[in-house]
Structure 1
Amino acid sequence: MSPSGQSKSPSGQRSSTRKRSNAQSQRRRQHQDETGIIPILARTVRTIESSAERGKVSPPNRVKFRVVAALVREERARIKTDKALTDAERTKELTRLDGIATIMAKAAARDTSLIQLLTDTAPLTTQQQEAKRAMLLEAGAELSPEDLIVVTEAPARDEEKHVVPQSVKQYQMANPFLAPDFSSVTASKSSTAGRLANWELIEPLFRSFEMGSGGGAASMDLPDARSLAAAGGKELMRHQARFIESARAGHRTYLLADEPGLGKTAQALLAAEASGSYPIVVVVPNVVKVNWAREVEKWTPQRSATVVHGDGDDIDAFADVVIVNYEVLDRHVAWLSRRGFKGMVVDEAHFIKNKDSQRSKNVLALSKSIRAVTPNALFVALTGTPLINQIEDFRMIWQYLGWIDDKKPLSALMRKLEETELNPGDPGFFSAARGAVIDMGIVRRKKVDVAADIPARRIADIPVELDGEAGRSIHEAEQALIARLVERYRRLTAARPDTSPDEAIRMVAAAELEESRGGGSDGTNVFAMVRRIGQAKAVPAADYTVNLARNVGKVVFFAKHIDVMDAAEQFFKKAGLKTVSIRGEQTTKARTLALDAFTNDPEVSVAVCSLTAAGVGINLQVASNVVLAELSWTNAEQTQAIDRVHRIGQELPVTAWRIIAAGTIDGRISELIDSKAGLAARALDGEEFEAAEGSVQLEALVSLLKDSVVE
């Protein structure tokens, strides 16, 4: 029959049937291709790729990218071991995953910050767990128990690490009940109420700082200072007094981001005094915890301080100020959380920027426990700059301060945002939002802003503890030196009883010094001691310099010995800082190239200089911060080094950070150097100043012996 009306031949019918069957099979395959987790992953990663093409990937998309990377690995492992799949099906599924991996690689090439997320195998964060669960539910997958339950609290810490020092037990017995203090708390609106409740706000808040608001300083308005007077007749700088006045007026949360050298430690301590926020806990890097105790004694002498070392066997749990370093906080966070603090300070707050680190979790846990008992407690975060590497670094600091949680602004900040009467879709929102966050307590002053308040040149001592075997060895050597001096003193006074104690002490010290110059004794002479102390200070001094450089830019690092310079340079290299070196054995050309690089290359952060070779004849005024890792035997040598930075044309006040080994002869030497500076001032400028006589080495030995034999 004709095509228009006749029936098809058997062969034609079979062909038609095959076509219908192939079409149905293709539709089934397409349907199957759209089921399961792989299509979800593909759609998600294409969205992220589009975001990367437009610029930097947003934090929510970074969360999804991390989850996709994890799920791709899990799905690949499942497919390889799934015995229900044929070889062809397995190859096909793996090819689809390879396609997703290719798109992820393209996105990471556009936004290189994603690269680390491709291979990150750390446990998923709370946000990432929630995103994973959402993807699995959308795919219709059966969820395992660990995927069903999203952990919102940090995993329980190893209880064996927790310690409760004996002094703490005594304190707890003396104070069995710590009632919450709600006396200063005003009623607050829920953070979820209001017109902004359904808006995503964290990302816009970060963007408001990235946009910079026309370059305006991120610093809240502070009241005028009523007085510059501090305890013990000391005087504050005006910018310090204004900050303290703000705390006295009732403000309670601060991101204090003044540049180094502007006295953040003093401001935090005096803010606690002005607001009555005692007892207070201070969390600090190990290298500065001894300095914090010293600053407590200097600025608030009426308050007691205790420093937590190791398991805290020697602490005073009744102290007003408890100082603990990040490295041992995990052992003490349990009892610290129950101590009843009314304030908390976190120094070098950028140390907690990593949400997944244990120290960040410890700091947040401690801050939450304090806020629960004392909602109006004082919280201060100290850092040299509010923008460390990226805006995202704000997140954990803001959480510590109680301004935001994982997902949204909390009540105080939300009220400020509501008061702007704007939302993220309005043109003026970013500027207004930035102002709202700044008013929560961001304080940022630079040296140039307050130059009139600051001395043109000053020396700030940073005491550091010498830990480990090197520290123990130095303390033992110093005790051996003292024992030898005391024995000589006793023999001399027994043989010559008519000799006065002061005369005998000076005679013994002079004999010891003469023997030391000849290379005598057993390696515990004063010269060997100072050399060993300098070697032990190399890493702590370099560690302090790294933090300084990351906060203020270029820093000059001075040391006397080559091995100290070498150790410091190795530390800087591991920390990712680019350095130049100025040493005695350099040619003129090499030194010139190093100086030019330090002056002109913005990537060069530190100039590592020999105290003797670089102390004269060079210009380093591109920096305004100096670290003196080793002490000189003369004030003149120290002054010459500082003057390489403090030169004509230097527009900023210069601060020399002198690293002192706490509890050793180093501290005595620094005091004697300062007394020699006073002698020079008296001789040249006519100033009245009581100064030690004789060499610094001799006076150091006299001081050691006098402390041991004179009651």
Structure 2
Amino acid sequence: MARQGQRRSSGSRTTTRGRRRDQDNEGIIPVLAQAVREVENGVMRGRVDGTRFQVVALLVREERARLKADDSLDEQRRATELKRLDGIATILAQTAAREPSLFTRLGEDAEITDGVRRLKRELQERGGIEPEPAAESTGSASTSPLRPDRQVVPQSVARAQLANPFMAPDYSAVPVVPKERRLVGWELIGPLLSSFEHPAPGVRSCMDLPPSRPQMLPPGLELMEHQARLLSAVGDGHRTFLLADEPGLGKTAQALLAAQTAEAYPLLAVVPNVVKTNWAREAAQWTPSKTVSVVHGDGLSVDGFADIIVVNYEILDRHVGWIGDHGFRGMIVDEAHFIKNKASQRSQNVLEIAERVRRRVARPLMMALTGTPLINDVDDFLTIWRFLGWIEEKKPGPRLMAALEETGLTPADHAFYPAAREAVVDLGIVRRKKVDVAADIPARRIADLPVELAEADGRSIREAEQELVERLVQRYDAAMATRRSGPSPAGTGVDLDLVRRVAGSELADSEDSTTGDNVFAMVRRIGQAKAGLAADYAAQLARSAGKVVFFAKHLDVMDLAGDVFTRRDLRWTEIRGDQSRTARQQAIDSFVNDPDVSIIVCSLTAAGVGINLQVASDVVLAELSWTNAEQTQAIDRVHRIGQTEPVTAWRILAAQTIDTRIADLIDSKAGLAAVALDGAEEEAATTADVRLEALVSLLADTLEKRGNTNP
């Protein structure tokens, strides 16, 4: 009986041990033990899984707090479980000792990334713990710009995100930790702004840039010295820039080549709608080996596999979700003064994406481009600095804080302010003026700026252009049919002589037509459709570079532009054909002498000659002239003897319309004229009417595509 009782007792103890072993294999602790061994083994093999390390540390901390607060546990059980957690913590410490970069993951202020959140939920579920409800990836619900009802995910983007393994998070950089802590507790944002509001005379506004180095460029392209020096800084490892060069100094090219130098692909460019098409064009020109895709509307046509994706501010709210998860390694914000109001939806969208980019990539390329970093006051800096990661919501970011600590000063010291300003400039402010780099750039240049017309306008104009082309083809086919009844001409292909005669007939009919379906009416409609876009760009120039001369051909385009300037609170004046001589001179005097009058709107025909507007160095050509001479005369109102700065003429072109064809023809005639002036012999066609050549080009291209041949 005794033995039976002993066996029973032994069996009871065995049952208890079995139950304890079952308990030891349940819950979160065995899951953490397995995870920490995986991290340890990975480090020993040279593979550092910082995310898993951080998640284990977080869950150990939470489980320890839970055990201490759990009144249902007896002291022996609590001590046993805490001892098991201590064992896991010991392995964490030993692993971090082998790989010191992991120590940053143990801090209370260590960043909680989307990857950390996902893995934490996964381990909690495996351990039988119900995870907390998933939060938005950034901010609180009250501040997050994500609107689920407006979010879209283009199919191409979804395929790219599933297919591309390179989008894995990159945590390779060790966070900057200040050596000193004397500035803890100081309010520093105000003093930083004050250092820019009241700078000492002669202080620099541009970071020190290294000497220029040779760059690999597409054939036929060259960099100016100031552009090459910025790329040298990127090559040396600098990754954040407030590029505040004056307009006309090639900020777009610098940004695109900076991305190429830093291998910051995929690259996101957030730009105003007026320059969206131009960004795609510039990308194709400066980085032809990289694919570029432009986001329109809901992004149905975007290529999710493209190296460079361009999106405009106006539609960004629909795309924040997928953009934030796409794995961009570089982000460019053009006309960055658009985000100066941090409370605006536009600014919140940009900041949201920037935060997500930094969470996934250790050192992304972040560039803010603007010729006008300040419009109202120094507070305009704040959102741009935050986009670049230089500051956080209410304090400097780690790199800036480390630089401020290195000064050994506090805001109580007068010397702190110039030192703080230098610290911010060295983070990446680059500011050059035209006059500073005048030797680098041509004294006069024409820069084409393609713009996308509003959807309805663009569709209507393209339909009108198609009707014109069909009418030309019908004329040509009718003429060819008449020929077939006579002798057949020798040779095959498009009959260019007949094409020219057909175009001439259409042009003659257009001059006599009153129906509004001719080439003149179509070009005028294009001018009306792009008037607002051209005026908007002129307003941006006026804010950033000073006085601007705005040229248009038609009075209704001038009126539309004037309305835009008035709405933008810009003072402007105008020169038009129906003015008296006195009113004309008053307009000129006002523009030249009054510093508050920033724009003069001029008629191409009424103001193309006889006036001096060299107080400006930027010209906007909102409508194309039919001759190069008229265009040149307009530019020469600014580019003339006495001009001290290089002149840039911004030619606004309606993309995917006859506008671009006309611009190419004007340029070709300008080149031919130069050859003729140099004494070369040219055919009589070199002075042909651009209007005729535009129609000839339209018809010939259509016939070649159709594959039409002479019988």
TM-score normalized with structure 1 length: 0.76
- 1:650 maps to what in 2? 643
1:544 to 537, 551, 573: 537
- 1:349 maps to what in 2? 336
Q: Look up the SS of the partner of 1:388 in the other structure.
A: coil
**1:162 pairs with 2:151:** yes
After superposition, residues 164-313 of structure 1 pair within 5 angstroms as 164-175=153-164, 178-183=167-172, 185-189=173-177, 194-227=181-214, 230-313=217-300
1-structure distance, mates of 2:257, 2:392: 28
How far is 1:227 from its partner?
A: 2.2
1:702 to 684, 696, 699: 696
1:622-681 deviation digits (Å, cap 9, x = unpaired)? 000000000000000000000000010000000000000000000000000001111110
How far is 1:483 from its partner?
A: 1.4
- 2:579 maps to what in 1? 586
For the structure 1 residues 305 and 177, does the alpha-carbon distance in structure 2 shift closer, same or farther, using more than 3 Å as the test?
closer
**1:376 pairs with 2:369:** no
1:509 to 459, 483, 503: 503
- 2:607 maps to what in 1? 614
Counterpart amino acid of 2:655? A
For the structure 1 residues 271 and 622, does the alpha-carbon distance in structure 2 shift closer, same or farther, using more than 3 Å as the test?
same
For the structure 1 residues 397 and 517, does the alpha-carbon distance in structure 2 shift closer, same or farther, using more than 3 Å as the test?
same
Structure 1 segments unaligned to the other structure (5+ residues) = 1-149
How far is 1:186 from its partner?
A: 3.1
Which deviates further from its counterpart, 379-388 or 689-698? 689-698
1-structure distance, mates of 2:144, 2:262: 35
1:287-328 deviation digits (Å, cap 9, x = unpaired)? 000000010011111111111110111111111110000000
CA contact 1:228–1:238 (8 Å) conserved in 2: no
After superposition, residues 432-581 of structure 1 pair within 5 angstroms as 432-497=419-484, 498=488, 500-519=494-513, 522-581=515-574
After superposition, residues 669-688 of structure 1 pair within 5 angstroms as 669-686=662-679
How far is 1:390 from its partner?
A: 0.5
Counterpart amino acid of 1:587? S
After superposition, residues 323-472 of structure 1 pair within 5 angstroms as 323-472=310-459
2-structure distance, mates of 1:165, 1:479: 30
Count of residues paired in the alignment: 559
1:101-152 deviation digits (Å, cap 9, x = unpaired)? xxxxxxxxxxxxxxxxxxxxxxxxxxxxxxxxxxxxxxxxxxxxxxxxx958
- 2:63 maps to what in 1? none
2-structure distance, mates of 1:648, 1:585: 29
1-structure distance, mates of 2:520, 2:349: 43
2-structure distance, mates of 1:386, 1:640: 33
Counterpart amino acid of 1:514? A
How far is 1:387 from its partner?
A: 2.1
Which deviates further from its counterpart, 164-173 or 279-288? 164-173
How far is 1:169 from its partner?
A: 2.0
CA contact 2:267–2:307 (8 Å) conserved in 1: yes
2-structure distance, mates of 1:441, 1:595: 40
CA contact 1:255–1:381 (8 Å) conserved in 2: yes
Q: Look up the SS of the partner of 1:509 in the other structure.
A: helix
How far is 1:233 from its partner?
A: 2.8
1:177-234 deviation digits (Å, cap 9, x = unpaired)? 7311233x1342169x611111111100000001122143310010111126622231
Q: Look up the SS of the partner of 2:219 in the other structure.
A: helix
1-structure distance, mates of 2:562, 2:210: 44
2-structure distance, mates of 1:594, 1:398: 40
- 1:56 maps to what in 2? none
1:439-470 deviation digits (Å, cap 9, x = unpaired)? 00000000000001010000000000111322
Percent sequence identity is 61
Which deviates further from its counterpart, 539-548 or 691-700? 691-700
1-structure distance, mates of 2:664, 2:282: 17
2-structure distance, mates of 1:178, 1:663: 34
For the structure 1 residues 166 and 229, does the alpha-carbon distance in structure 2 shift closer, same or farther, using more than 3 Å as the test?
closer
Counterpart amino acid of 1:180? P
Structure 2 segments unaligned to the other structure (5+ residues) = 1-138, 706-711
For the structure 1 residues 681 and 525, does the alpha-carbon distance in structure 2 shift closer, same or farther, using more than 3 Å as the test?
same
CA contact 2:404–2:420 (8 Å) conserved in 1: yes
How far is 1:490 from its partner?
A: 2.1
1-structure distance, mates of 2:548, 2:676: 32
For the structure 1 residues 275 and 642, does the alpha-carbon distance in structure 2 shift closer, same or farther, using more than 3 Å as the test?
same
Where has structure 1 moved over 6 Å in runs of 4 or more?
Answer: 687-691
2-structure distance, mates of 1:548, 1:362: 25
For the structure 1 residues 205 and 463, does the alpha-carbon distance in structure 2 shift closer, same or farther, using more than 3 Å as the test?
same
For the structure 1 residues 647 and 358, does the alpha-carbon distance in structure 2 shift closer, same or farther, using more than 3 Å as the test?
same
Q: Look up the SS of the partner of 1:214 in the other structure.
A: coil
Superposition CA RMSD, Å = 1.8
1:571-590 deviation digits (Å, cap 9, x = unpaired)? 10011000011111212211
- 1:47 maps to what in 2? none
After superposition, residues 87-106 of structure 1 pair within 5 angstroms as none
Q: Look up the SS of the partner of 2:691 in the other structure.
A: helix
How far is 1:492 from its partner?
A: 2.1
Which deviates further from its counterpart, 207-216 or 593-602? 207-216
CA contact 2:673–2:686 (8 Å) conserved in 1: no
1-structure distance, mates of 2:544, 2:233: 24
CA contact 2:292–2:308 (8 Å) conserved in 1: yes
How far is 1:502 from its partner?
A: 1.9
- 2:64 maps to what in 1? none
2-structure distance, mates of 1:234, 1:178: 32
Which deviates further from its counterpart, 402-411 or 155-164? 155-164
Q: Look up the SS of the partner of 2:359 in the other structure.
A: helix
1-structure distance, mates of 2:250, 2:317: 28
How far is 1:695 from its partner?
A: 1.2
After superposition, residues 48-127 of structure 1 pair within 5 angstroms as none
- 1:24 maps to what in 2? none
